[in-house]
């Protein structure tokens, strides 16, 4: 039974997995030393019988059984009281052997280490001192008083104290390092799980914004167009509405497939952002709404993610204007400078109360704000009942790129 057994006996079966090879080798060496010395005492008593040879052999067998049994029992996680009882028995049996035969005086040396391992430092030193005194007295009974008989056990005790305390300090440092490593590994696993969960949530939010601004808006347009077709009946205009509904559905399908492939939006394929916005304004100009695009500044190269964000903002805004604003005119202004780009969408519709819409939990406004914040931009919304709506977004090009 070593310090690992005493320290962690009540917490886990064995601390061996956390021990370095050096600590494991020291434990094996201590067990081996006790066993060999005990066998030596028994064999020596059988070859050159002392006065109490039978007692020495019997007590040697008892000591060997007690020690080996306690060492194996420690691996089962016994309590502190059992450990101290085991130490008391082993110490008593070893000192009794030293009283019966001088050959057993060597057994006191490994007992010193057991006491230093299992007891608190001050109690361990007291136990070592008491064992040393008993050993010196026992040797004096066998060979009389001598300097060597006093210095041998005393020097052995001093060496054991120095080595034992040093071992305790090294072991404690090793345990602290192992605890730190375990904590770091646990933290790393927790961070990995948190990052994965955050990534999943961000991806779900991104897909929700994409679907809302494209597929959902397209389906809403299809509904409006089909309602218009029902009103027109079989008139000549119905055919145009049906064709436009079919084209809108085709665009929605293309957008959905793009989400899966994570490619650039079809509206940007082969054309610049101003061209895409101009085409978007033309397609939005129907059912009494006129949308126009104004350009300000020289065209500046933008990243694909920023161009896609600006296009999606324009799409969502114009879709809201067409469906909810009851507006007759919408103006888009794209401003491109060296260090920033801005997009303004202004309509003359019925407007709304931005604060009330936010309190109702509008997904469209939340998605719009998330898009802007994801690119490090700013969003401003100005609106009011019968005052129209103005949406302004701006992005620093350096940060976006």
pLDDT tens-digit profile of 328-386?
999 999 999 988 999 999 999 999 888 887 767 666 788 888 889 888 899 999 998 88
In a domain, 123, yes or no: yes
Let me know whether 175 and 276 are in one domain.
no
Q: What are 255's two structure tokens?
A: 């957008």
Query: Measuring CA to CA, how many Å separate 141 from each of 41, 102, 103, 339?
Result: 18, 9, 13, 98
Let me know whether 183 and 277 are in one domain.
no
In a domain, 244, yes or no: no
Q: Angle CA(127)–CA(132)–CA(136) in degrees, nearest 5?
A: 150
Please state, in angstroms and rounded to a whole number, the distance separating the CA atoms of residues 151 and 155. 6
Which position has the higher pLDDT, 384 or 71? 384
Q: What are 309's two structure tokens?
A: 């964000």
In a domain, 302, yes or no: yes
Once rounded to an integer, what is the mean pLDDT over residues 80-84?
Answer: 80
Which position has the higher pLDDT, 146 or 43? 43
Spatial CB neighbours of 334, under 8 Å, sequence gap ≥ 6: 273, 274, 277, 293, 294, 295, 296, 310, 341, 342, 343
125-150 confidence digits (pLDDT tens):
888 888 888 878 877 777 777 776 67
| Residue 178, phi then psi, degrees to nearest 5 | -65, -40
Beta bridge partners of 373: none
In 3D space, the residue among 377, 376, 380 whose CA is nearest the CA of residue 345 turns out to be 380
Please state, in angstroms and rounded to a whole number, the distance separating the CA atoms of residues 371 and 214. 14
Please state, in angstroms and rounded to a whole number, the distance separating the CA atoms of residues 382 and 388. 8
- The confidence score (pLDDT) of residue 391 equals 95
Q: Which one of 145, 161, 190 terminates a domain?
A: 190
234 falls in which pLDDT band (50, 70, 90)? low
Let me know whether 29 and 169 are in one domain.
yes
Once rounded to an integer, what is the mean pLDDT over residues 94-102?
Answer: 82
Let me know whether 186 and 280 are in one domain.
no
Q: Which helix (H) or strand (E) holds 256?
A: helix 236-261
pLDDT above 70 (res 400): no
Q: Which helix (H) or strand (E) holds 223?
A: helix 217-232
Which position has the higher pLDDT, 156 or 236? 156
Residue with tokens 């492939």: 261
Which position has the higher pLDDT, 273 or 167? 273
In a domain, 266, yes or no: no
pLDDT above 80 (res 9): no
In a domain, 207, yes or no: no
Which position has the higher pLDDT, 12 or 329? 329
Q: How many CB atoms lie within 10 A of CB 239?
A: 12
258 falls in which pLDDT band (50, 70, 90)? low
Q: Which domain holds residue 140?
A: 3-190
Using an 8 Å Cβ cutoff, are 96 and 52 in contact?
no
Q: Which helix (H) or strand (E) holds 335?
A: strand 329-336
Half-sphere exposure of 203 toward its Cβ, with a 13 Å CA cutoff?
9
Sort residue 286 into left (φ over 0), alpha (ψ -120 to 50) or beta.
Answer: beta
Let me know whether 24 and 167 are in one domain.
yes
Q: What are 279's two structure tokens?
A: 């085409």
398 falls in which pLDDT band (50, 70, 90)? low
Let me know whether 68 and 164 are in one domain.
yes
pTM (predicted TM-score): 0.43
CATH classification of the domain holding 288: 3.30.565.10
Let me know whether 169 and 300 are in one domain.
no
- The confidence score (pLDDT) of residue 198 equals 66
65 falls in which pLDDT band (50, 70, 90)? confident
In a domain, 184, yes or no: yes
In a domain, 79, yes or no: yes
Spatial CB neighbours of 315, under 8 Å, sequence gap ≥ 6: 213, 214, 217, 280
Let me know whether 33 and 163 are in one domain.
yes
Residue with tokens 């129907």: 286
Once rounded to an integer, what is the mean pLDDT over residues 234-256?
Answer: 68
User: 81-90: long-range contacts at Cβ-Cβ below 8 A with a sequence spacing of 24 or more?
Assistant: 83/1, 83/5, 83/6, 83/9, 83/118, 84/118, 84/119, 86/1, 87/1, 87/114, 87/115, 87/118, 87/119, 90/63, 90/66, 90/114
Please state, in angstroms and rounded to a whole number, the distance separating the CA atoms of residues 157 and 75. 28
Alpha-helical runs (H) found in 271-327: 273-284, 304-320
Q: Which one of 190, 224, 240 terminates a domain?
A: 190
Let me know whether 290 and 152 are in one domain.
no
Please state, in angstroms and rounded to a whole number, the distance separating the CA atoms of residues 331 and 19. 73
Please state, in angstroms and rounded to a whole number, the distance separating the CA atoms of residues 182 and 225. 63
Please state, in angstroms and rounded to a whole number, the distance separating the CA atoms of residues 185 and 246. 56
Let me know whether 26 and 148 are in one domain.
yes
Using an 8 Å Cβ cutoff, are 352 and 385 in contact?
yes
In a domain, 287, yes or no: yes
Q: Which one of 190, 210, 235 terminates a domain?
A: 190
CA 341 distance to own-chain centroid = 38
- The confidence score (pLDDT) of residue 50 equals 64
Let me know whether 290 and 172 are in one domain.
no
Alpha-helical runs (H) found in 285-360: 304-320, 354-359
First vs last C-alpha separation in the chain: 65
Let me know whether 287 and 390 are in one domain.
yes
Please state, in angstroms and rounded to a whole number, the distance separating the CA atoms of residues 220 and 237. 20
As a whole number, the mean pLDDT across the chain is 77
Q: Count the domains in the chain.
A: 2
């Amino acid at each position: 039974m070593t310090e690992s057994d005493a320290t962690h006996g009540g917490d886990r079966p064995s601390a061996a997995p956390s021990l370095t090879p050096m600590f494991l080798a020291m434990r094996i060496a201590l067990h081996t030393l006790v066993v060999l010395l005990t066998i030596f005492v028994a064999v020596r008593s059988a070859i050159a019988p002392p006065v109490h040879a039978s007692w020495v052999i019997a007590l040697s067998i008892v000591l060997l059984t007690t020690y080996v049994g306690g060492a194996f029992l420690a691996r089962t996680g016994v309590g502190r009281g059992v450990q101290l009882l085991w130490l008391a028995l082993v110490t008593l049996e070893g000192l009794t052997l030293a009283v019966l035969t001088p050959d057993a005086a060597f057994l006191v040396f490994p007992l010193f280490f057991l006491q230093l391992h299992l007891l608190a430092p001050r109690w361990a030193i007291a136990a070592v001192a008491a064992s040393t005194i008993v050993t010196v007295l026992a040797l004096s009974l066998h060979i009389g008083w001598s300097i060597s008989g006093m210095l041998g056990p005393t020097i052995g005790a001093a060496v054991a104290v120095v080595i034992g305390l040093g071992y305790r300090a090294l072991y404690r440092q090793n345990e602290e390092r192992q605890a730190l490593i375990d904590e770091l590994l646990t933290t790393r696993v927790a961070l990995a799980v948190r990052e994965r969960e955050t990534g999943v949530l961000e991806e779900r939010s991104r897909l929700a914004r994409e679907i809302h601004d494209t597929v959902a808006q397209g389906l809403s347009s299809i509904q409006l167009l089909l309602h218009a077709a029902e009103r027109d009946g079989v008139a000549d205009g119905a055919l145009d509405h049906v064709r436009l509904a079919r084209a809108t559905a085709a665009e929605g399908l293309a957008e959905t497939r793009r989400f899966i492939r994570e490619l650039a939006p079809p509206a940007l394929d082969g054309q610049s952002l101003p061209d895409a916005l101009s085409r978007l304004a033309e397609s939005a100009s129907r059912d009494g709404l006129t949308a126009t695009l104004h350009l300000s500044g020289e065209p500046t190269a933008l990243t694909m993610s920023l161009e896609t964000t600006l296009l999606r903002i324009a799409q969502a805004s114009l879709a809201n204007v067409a469906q909810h604003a009851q507006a007759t005119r919408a103006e888009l202004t794209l401003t491109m400078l060296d260090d920033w780009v801005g997009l303004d969408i202004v309509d003359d519709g019925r407007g709304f109360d931005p604060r009330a819409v936010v309190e109702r939990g509008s997904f469209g406004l939340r998605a719009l704000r998330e898009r802007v914040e994801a690119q490090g931009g700013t969003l401003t919304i100005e609106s009011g009942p019968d005052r129209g709506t103005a949406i302004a977004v701006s992005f620093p090009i350096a940060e976006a790129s």
